[in-house]
Structures are given as structure tokens and as C-alpha cells.
Amino acid sequence: MKALRLIAHGAPGELRHEEVPTPEPGPGDALVRVRACGLNRLDLWVEEKGLPIPILLPRIQGCETAGEIAALGPEVTGWSPGDRVCISSNLACGGCEACRAGEESMCSRNRIFGVETDGGFAEYACLPARHLVPLPRELGFEAAAGLSLAASTAMHMLTDRTRVRAGDWVLVIAGASGVGSAAIQIARQLGARVLATGSSEAKRSLALALGAEAALDPADPSWPGEVRRLTGKRGVDIVVEHVGGPLLAQAFDCLARGGSIVTCGATAGREISLNLWPLFVKQQRLIGSYGRNRRDLVETLRWAAEGRLRPVVDKVFPLSDGVAAFKALRQREVLGKVVLCP
Ligand SMILES: [Zn+2]
């Protein structure tokens, strides 16, 4: 099969579109014919060796995968060749206390598909069939590949780690990103009033089109004050954050008493200084969110099939142009998602 493999780390790293052996499904495994696979910030971290976990090279990356079952190994029940599927990219162990409780995102033996195993930037991907989720027929492969990781991450943040209530104010940092574009829509569906940030005019326009009432430029140092003004000085109830660094400190300046910041990433820096005085006086929360539970992905696909959540796919590249896709994401030229199709 053809696959896009990371041969050497770097920014850019060395990626090769080349012929590799097609994997054979073992007991419990499914071989998925990949139709589309989304590109994520996570893929750039792998490329750059920016994750605190060892990555064996060469590696086929690609976490956000949709396709059809091509073949099944022995001992697989409930699936048939030809079934349309999405892959849940956190490969939880399935046996621990967290997994048995349906909290796969808490599994300490979690491995990330396409990071710690070979992933979806290939014609075929092989993995345990229990990580497959049915793809509703209303959803195309490219749409699913533009939703299954980023939007389910936002679903986990807004319906599990925090719970948006009707009438809440929600601030979405980087509202034109994969997570951000989904978070705006999910918060609106749950009855929240939404504000967003965006680092360019095009990104702010997209955030507004998705349902934000105002979109602010984080390069303008007065932007947290603008959030307070827009919310009648009270601040927002929830901040959806995945940038980190100095921006996370600014997010606290936007937060209401009793409010929560929920974070799933730290693109701009993993270490911050935090003034604890306002945190406890205002009874605020800083909440970590990691990946998703299976039910978050199922809900995400159901919402999308019902038209309540639309994927924002900016660019679709053939797998053979994978290098150009990585470059577009690295240069932050992307509005929503980049998808690769073998
Ligand atoms: Zn587990």
C-alpha cells in the first residue's frame, strides 16, 4: 500500500510518500480502507518531536480517520467488511477501572493511534476493532475526518469535563481552529452566548459565521477588557482553551466568579505562572481535558448527522501531497481543518 511516513523529526521533518507492506489483521483486529484522515496540531508535534513520549520512526501518522472495513481478523464480532467507520484515536486498554466505567479518556494505558501506533495517513490502517465507531450514512468520509478528533475533543470539554448550561457565556480561544470551530457550534447548540478569538480577519469572520457574537484579536492587548465589556463586566462562565502560554493567563482576566477554564492543549507554551489569589477568591476552576470517551465521539457523529454540527474543512489534499498539507497547517494558514485522502 501507499503510505505517508515520517522518516526523521524536524520542522519540517522528512515525510515520504512510499510503498510499504499492507498490514495483516490479527485476532480482534480490523483492516480499514482509509478514505480520509484529518491533520491536527498533534501531527506537527509528532513531526517536530515536541511530545513528551517516545515515537518510533518510521511512523505513519494520522489520528482522525474515516473509511470502510476491508477485512477482519479472527474473533471479531459485530462488524462486517464494507461497514463505514470512524476510528476513536485514543486506544484505551478496555480492561481497567476507567475503561469499564466508560471513561476511556482516563485510561492510564491509553495509546494514541497515529502517534504511538501507525495511523491513517495510508491506504489501509490496522487496529483492534473495538476502537471503531459506526459512521452514520448521512456523513461523508471527508466530513467525518474533519470532525472525529477535533470536534469530539470539544464535545468532551463542553459536555463532560464542564457542562455548558443555557444562558452561559462561553469564550472560545482560537475559534477558527478544529477544536475551536466545533466548540463554538456545540456551545451555541447548548444555548450559550459565545465569544471567540481569532488571529486574522478571516479567522474572526469564520468564528462569527459559526455563531460567535463577537470575535476578538488576541494581538490587541485590550482584548480581555473587551470580553468584560461585552459580558456587562461579569466575564464568561467557561473558557475553551488549547493555546496555553501567556494567553492562558489572559483567559483568567476574562473569567467570571465561579467560572471554569477548560484546556486541552498548550501550543504556545506548557508552563505558565498563575496568581492563586484571584483563583480562590473568585472560586474559579482550571480543568484539564484529554481526548474523548467513546460516547463523546458517538455523540459528535450523531450531532453532525443531524446537521447540528458541521465540519469546517478548509483544504483537502491527496495523500501524495502530504508535505504540502503539513506546511499549510504549520504556517497557520488554515481555517478549520486540513484533510488528506489516499
Ligand atoms: Zn483502560
**pLDDT per position as a tens digit, 36-75:** 999 998 999 999 999 889 899 999 999 999 999 999 999 9
The one-letter amino acid code at 308 reads R
Beta strands in 173-295 (DSSP E): 193-197, 214-216, 236-241, 255-263, 285-288
pLDDT tens for each residue of 144-172: 999 999 999 999 999 999 999 999 999 99
| Inside any domain, residue 214 | yes
| Inside any domain, residue 306 | no
Distance 70 CA to ligand 1 centre (A): 27
Q: Are residues 158 and 139 in the same domain?
A: no
Here the CATH number for the domain that contains residue 137 is: 3.90.180.10
Q: Are residues 180 and 267 in the same domain?
A: yes
The pLDDT assigned to 135 comes to 98
Here the CATH number for the domain that contains residue 199 is: 3.40.50.720
| Inside any domain, residue 305 | no
pLDDT tens for each residue of 8-29: 999 999 999 999 999 999 999 9
Quickly state the pLDDT bin for 137 (edges 50, 70, 90).
Answer: very high
Place of cell 507492506: 21
* Percent of the residues in the chain that have a pLDDT greater than 90, as a whole number: 90
- Residue 8 near residue 293, CB atoms below 8 Å: no
Q: What is the DSSP letter of 279?
A: H
| Inside any domain, residue 189 | yes
Q: Are residues 28 and 122 in the same domain?
A: yes
All three cell numbers of 230, joined, read 461585552
Distance 119 CA to ligand 1 centre (A): 20
Distance 128 CA to ligand 1 centre (A): 14
| Inside any domain, residue 215 | yes
Distance 247 CA to ligand 1 centre (A): 33
Distance 110 CA to ligand 1 centre (A): 7
Quickly state the pLDDT bin for 249 (edges 50, 70, 90).
Answer: confident
Q: Is 244 left (phi over 0), alpha (psi -120 to 50) or beta?
A: left
Q: Are residues 92 and 117 in the same domain?
A: yes
Q: Are residues 124 and 156 in the same domain?
A: no
| Inside any domain, residue 102 | yes
| Inside any domain, residue 259 | yes
Q: Are residues 180 and 243 in the same domain?
A: yes
The pLDDT assigned to 265 comes to 85
Alpha carbons within 13 angstroms on the beta-carbon side of residue 22 total 12
The whole domain housing 41 covers: 2-146+311-341
Q: Are residues 121 and 171 in the same domain?
A: no
Q: Which of 314, 338, 2, 321 is nearest to 149 (CA)?
A: 338
Distance 103 CA to ligand 1 centre (A): 8
Q: What is the pTM of this model?
A: 0.93
Q: Are residues 116 and 202 in the same domain?
A: no
Q: Are residues 205 and 268 in the same domain?
A: yes
Q: Are residues 170 and 270 in the same domain?
A: yes
State CA 24 to chain mean position distance: 28
Distance 100 CA to ligand 1 centre (A): 7
The pLDDT assigned to 212 comes to 98
The one-letter amino acid code at 166 reads A
- Rounded distance, CA 333 to CA 342, Å? 22
Quickly state the pLDDT bin for 321 (edges 50, 70, 90).
Answer: very high
Count how many domains the chain has.
Answer: 2
pLDDT tens for each residue of 206-231: 999 999 999 999 999 999 999 999 99
Q: Are residues 156 and 138 in the same domain?
A: no
- Average pLDDT for the chain: 95
Q: Are residues 75 and 138 in the same domain?
A: yes
Cα-based distances in Å from 153 to 78, 98, 232, 288, 298: 26, 18, 30, 12, 12
| Inside any domain, residue 274 | yes
